[in-house]
Amino acid sequence: MDLQAVERYAIEHTSEDSPIIQELIRASEEDLEHTDMLSGRQVGRLLAILIKVSGARRVLEVGTFTGYSALTMAEALPDNGELFTCEYNKRYENIARTFFEKSKDGHKISLLMGKALDTIPTISGSFDFVFLDADKINYPNYYEMILPRLAAGGLLVIDNVLWGGEVIARESEKATAIDRLSKMIRDDKSVEQLMLTVRDGVTVVRKK
């Protein structure tokens, strides 16, 4: 089986991103060299569907980049929904803010600039839904910080859990940290989880 062709086929049979999100992708590609950081249509549509079916209202995102997944999730939230998204690289702030301001759903988004381990504690209350997609080395630390703040029945979605397959040999620090988190989740009786082989691997965790 040609896996690349299968993935292409899967993407072609997945809902398209909204016109403003397609514009955000084009703007990111024109301005930046690392647009492979964008989580992409399969992960984006998965996030949107999970937010809609779970009825989430309060969302935390760790790792904004230029705002692709933040805006995708904001579009899926009800009008009184709230999304807090954490980013520390000022280089990406301009594109993200421009598109949050331009979108009719941007009013739901608060962008917190600074290291996420410092900015997350400044947000009060609990979260119904969390998307973890920032520095892989800190994945286990984010889990310890976020899980107590996730509402019962809430969902935590983690991107890049396969890290291009490196989690199997664990020869880099990042792959080792990601693998450590996956084993913490597997052994945590307070959650149930499903690791999907979508794109670079996505784990969906539900707090019991």
Binding site for ligand SAM (CB under 6 A): 37-39, 63, 65, 68-69, 86-89, 92, 115-116, 133-135
| Nearest-approach distance from CB 127 to ligand SAM, in angstroms | 16
Q: Which residues contact 8 (CB under 8 A, 6 or more apart)?
A: none
| Nearest-approach distance from CB 152 to ligand SAM, in angstroms | 25
CA 108, CA 16: separation in Å to the nearest integer? 22
| Nearest-approach distance from CB 37 to ligand SAM, in angstroms | 4
Question: Which of 90, 189 has the CB closer to ligand SAM?
Answer: 90
| Nearest-approach distance from CB 164 to ligand SAM, in angstroms | 13
Question: Which of 152, 180 has the CB closer to ligand SAM?
Answer: 180
Question: Which of 2, 36 has the CB closer to ligand SAM?
Answer: 36
Token code pair at residue 192: 């149930």
Torsion sign, CA atoms 113, 118, 124, 129 = positive
Question: Which of 105, 133 has the CB closer to ligand SAM?
Answer: 133
Of the candidates 92, 74, 99, the one whose C-alpha atom is nearest the C-alpha of residue 23 is 99
| Nearest-approach distance from CB 189 to ligand SAM, in angstroms | 29
Question: Which of 132, 147 has the CB closer to ligand SAM?
Answer: 132
| Nearest-approach distance from CB 173 to ligand SAM, in angstroms | 14
Question: Which of 75, 133 has the CB closer to ligand SAM?
Answer: 133
